């Protein structure tokens, strides 16, 4: 393959094999900016990822690029850089440590021999975005026109051979993988948004639970203070003593002479009321009869 043929083959592989958007020989900015042979962006809603590919068809060209460090200039615009070569041209041990290597067999099949080390691209330069819009959209439009024309020819051939209805069904069947990828991308995006919303809800729940625990702890300290079990603030090291006092109080309230079955304070009031009624009955018996008073 020539250099341009190798680049076109790689771009077609990336578009078909990984559902990426690709640009060939596009300068990433104004004059003097890097011009990777193939520039690729993942087609995803949740994570932007850019990869630059440098195609080499001779060992001398590869060595000159590595020696000059030209490939490193792409890292301003890409998360990784990968060398693309015909099979047998170079070995992965010759590739820089952070760069990748992808090879093309004689049959035109591409395979990664060495994956690149990805670095974080915090921000794509604005000139590159402008180029992607101005140059990339034009190229993408040309690709779409060519794709639509090829699709028309394919549908027409299928319709002539199998009839319109069967031909349409066969063509739709061929397009299923692409539709599946689009649906997967949309679902990934929706899952990401749902996880973000779930994280917000969980944070709110944790905050509310902590607030309720703090409020309950405050009420418990106040209750212990009212019952005379402990002071408002329990000094460190005296928690075990407070627990023992609470246990004794619970034992008195539940296993004492008068066993409290419900609210102990309500039952205490009931005991007092019954005692008062009993005293009134005794007073009525002891009180002299009216006839005796005379």
Give tens-digit pLDDT for 52-67: 999 999 999 999 989 8
Q: What is the pLDDT of residue 22?
A: 85
Q: Which of 144, 160, 194 is the last residue of a domain?
A: 194
Q: What is the pLDDT of residue 276?
A: 72
Residues 140, 92 share a domain: no
Residues 121, 163 share a domain: no
Report phi then psi at 200, rounded to 5. -65, -45
Answer yes or no: is 186 within a domain: yes
Residues 163, 82 share a domain: no
Residue 285, both tokens: 């018996």
Q: Which of 106, 130, 154 is the last residue of a domain?
A: 130
* CA dihedral angle for residue 21, residue 27, residue 30, residue 33, rounded to 10 degrees: 120
Contact 56, 83 (CB under 8 A): yes
> 3-state SS string over 85-120?
EECCCCCHHHCCCCCEEEEECCCCCEEEEECCCCCC
Contact 38, 55 (CB under 8 A): yes
The number of distinct structural domains making up the chain is 3
Q: Is 52 helix (H, G, I), strand (E, B) or coil?
A: strand
Residue 278, both tokens: 């009993």
Residue 80 host element (H or E) = strand 80-86
Answer yes or no: is 166 within a domain: yes
CA dist 177 and 190 (Å) reads 20
Q: Which domain holds residue 184?
A: 136-194
The neighbour count for residue 110, using CB atoms within 10 Å, is: 16
Report phi then psi at 116, rounded to 5. -75, 155
Residues 72, 186 share a domain: no
CA distances from 60 to 9, 33, 55 (A): 22, 23, 13
Contact 100, 94 (CB under 8 A): no
Q: What is the pLDDT of residue 292?
A: 57
Spans of the chain, pLDDT less than 70: 17-19, 45, 122, 134-156, 158-159, 162, 164-176, 178-180, 216, 224-240, 242, 252-269, 279, 282-294
């Amino acid at each position: 393959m020539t250099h341009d043929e190798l680049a076109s083959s790689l771009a077609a592989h990336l578009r078909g094999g990984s559902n990426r958007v690709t640009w060939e020989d596009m300068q990433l900015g104004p004059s003097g900016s890097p011009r990777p042979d193939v520039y690729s962006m993942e087609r995803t809603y949740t994570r932007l990822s850019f990869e630059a590919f440098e195609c080499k068809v001779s060992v001398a060209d590869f060595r000159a690029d590595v020696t000059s460090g030209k490939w490193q200039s792409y890292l301003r615009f890409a998360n990784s850089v990968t060398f693309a070569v015909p099979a047998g041209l170079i070995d992965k041990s010759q590739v820089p440590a952070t760069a990748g290597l992808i090879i093309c067999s004689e049959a035109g099949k591409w395979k990664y021999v060495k994956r690149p080390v990805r670095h974080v691209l915090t921000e794509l330069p604005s000139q590159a975005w402008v180029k992607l819009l101005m140059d990339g959209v034009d190229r993408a439009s040309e690709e779409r026109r060519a794709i639509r024309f090829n699709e028309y020819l394919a549908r027409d051939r299928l319709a002539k051979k199998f009839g319109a209805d069967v031909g349409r069904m066969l063509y739709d069947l061929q397009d299923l993988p692409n539709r599946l990828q689009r649906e997967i991308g949309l679902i990934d995006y929706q899952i990401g948004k749902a996880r973000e919303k779930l994280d917000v809800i969980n944070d709110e729940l944790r905050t509310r639970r902590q607030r309720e625990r703090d409020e309950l702890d405050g009420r418990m300290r106040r209750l212990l203070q009212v019952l005379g079990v402990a002071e408002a603030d329990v000094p460190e090291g005296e928690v075990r003593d407070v627990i023992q006092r609470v246990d004794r109080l619970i034992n008195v309230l539940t296993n004492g002479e008068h066993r409290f079955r419900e609210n102990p304070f309500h039952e205490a009031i009931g005991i007092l009321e019954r005692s008062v009624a009993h005293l009134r009955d005794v007073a009525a018996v002891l009180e002299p009869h009216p006839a005796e008073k005379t």
